[in-house]
Structure 1
Amino acid sequence: MKFKDTLVLRDERFSIGIELESGRRYVSFPVSNGVVDYEEYYEVDSEEYERFLINPGEAAGFVDECRRHTRDDLLMMKPGKNRGIPI
């Protein structure tokens, strides 16, 4: 998978982008498991993607749900046994 961020919100610590090989859209944020820091990627549909680009505040609410693991059904890559926590 090749992820390309379209919008990076540094203060809010998340990104919105497109996975180049499949064309799927995502939001991502950094996590850490104490050994390594990495990104978790959550798929969004094209309508959500466009809406989040226009209104990043709306995306922030979605990202908060993802950070609480309530949207894990949308993970693009399932985490390993030692899952990280949002940083």
Structure 2
Amino acid sequence: MKFNDTFVNTDKRFTLGIEAASGKYYVSIPVSNRLVDYDEYYEISREPYELFLRDPSAALIFVERCKARQEDESLMVKPGADRGVAT
């Protein structure tokens, strides 16, 4: 998978983008485990993607749900046994 970020919010620590091969839209958040820092990618549809681009503050509820692991069914890559914690 090749994730292409289209928007980065450094203050609230999330990105929006489009995965190159599938054309799927996503929100990503940084996470860390005891060995590595990485990003988790959550698939969203086109409508919220466009809304979040126009109004990044509209993404914050979804981002917080991702950080609380309440959107795990939307994960584009399932985490391993040593899943990180949102940073």
RMSD: 0.5
1:65 alignment partner, SS class: helix
After TM superposition, the score normalised by the length of structure 1 is 0.98
- 1:75 matches 2:75: yes
Runs of 4+ in 1 over 3 A off after TM superposition: none
1:5 is matched with: 5
C-alpha distance in 1, partners of 2:66/2:59?
11
C-alpha deviation, 1:54, in angstroms: 0.7
The CA distance in 1 between the partners of 2:29 and 2:71, in whole Å, is 13
Query: Which deviations, in whole Å up to 9, do the C-alpha atoms of 1:12-69 show, x marking residues without a partner?
Result: 1100000000000000011001100000000000011001101111111100001100
CA distance in 2, matches of 1:79, 1:50: 27
One-letter identity of the residue aligned with 1:31: V
Q: Give the Cα separation in 2 of the matches to 1:41 and 1:75.
A: 6
Measure, in 1, the Cα distance between the counterparts of 2:81 and 2:11. 29
Matches for 1:1-87 after TM superposition, within 5 Å? 1-87=1-87
Taking structure 2 as the reference length, what is the TM-score of the superposition? Answer: 0.98
Identity among equivalent pairs (%): 53
> How many residues align structurally?
87
Mapped to 2, the partners of 1:10 and 1:60 lie a distance apart of 13
